[in-house]
Amino acid sequence: MSRSNDTWILAAQCPSRLGTVDVVTRFLKERGCYITEQQSFDDRLGERFFIRTEFRPLASDFDAEAFQADFATRAFEFEMDFELTPPERRTPVVIMVSKADHCLHDLLYRHRTGQLPLDIRAVISNHPDLESLVTGHGLPYHHFPVTPETKAAQEARVLEVIEATGAELVILARYMQVLSSEMCTRLSGRAINIHHSLLPGFKGAKPYHQAYEKGVKLVGATAHYINDDLDEGPIITQGVEPVSHADYPEDLVAKGRDIECLTLAKAVSLHLERRVFLHSKRTVVFKR
């Protein structure tokens, strides 16, 4: 389901209590807002309620500031945290890459064609290889080399760019560096990473070649928010692709790249559309 160009998004969460759906729907009715899509979930184990509503104001003089102020008063009773997102909002982002360019190419294409409502403020890399690709799209490219000895200083420069550009989301499009604990903390909830998912798991160099030797039948990818556990942050979405004995290592690599692109783009889209709620070490993700 694609979002209409004139719909607003109200995303909220609160402790599980009687009347949580009503407080949203009744308020929207009172304000003359027509609901076009709504999803909710009550976590009975965590005793937490989540709701996402797309709506269209029927009045032409809709006042977003007054709407938020009035709803905040109503939501206070339910200890409800909420966020209101206007139509056609383009989220400011910074993309981080290393040498692999497949995910970056895909994001740039979806940005150019409007498939992802991104406002790409900068691309940061620890290698110079992709500068011409990025500058060819009219985007700033920052090359910040990194070694174990310069890691802290390099990450400080990265954070300077993120803060200076006002980026609300950081996309690690195959950025092949382990982020420090401090960096993970600073970017908590606003940095999405992508990595391959193979069963059994293969670590180290050439994972697809290792997978070939074991005769795997599925390759996949996982998109998640970063945290201090390497590749184990809260999962947003995953993708898989069947393979067979007829697929050689280079075939597994090619299929892996494709599924990485698709999975990362889906995760970014879900985040931008406020369909993802962080919930402890997990996520609540409403389908599109």
Question: Looking at the annotation, which residues are catalytic?
Answer: 231
Place of tokens 């809260």: 234
**Listed residue (142, 128, 153, 102) closest to 265, CA to CA:** 102
Identify each DSSP E strand in the chain by its residue range: 8-15, 33-43, 48-57, 81-85, 91-97, 118-125, 141-143, 169-172, 191-198, 218-225, 235-242, 276-279, 282-285
Q: What is the DSSP letter of 180?
A: P
CA of residue 87 relative to chain centroid, distance: 18
Strand partners, 37: 54
**Listed residue (101, 176, 178, 83) closest to 137, CA to CA:** 101
Backbone angles phi, psi at 86, to 5 degrees: -75, 165
Q: Does residue 155 contact residue 183 with C-beta atoms inside 8 Å?
A: yes
CA of residue 150 relative to chain centroid, distance: 28
87 preceded by a cis bond (ω within 30 of 0): no
Q: What is the DSSP letter of 102?
A: H
Q: What is the DSSP letter of 280?
A: T
Place of tokens 């928010």: 225
CA of residue 228 relative to chain centroid, distance: 17
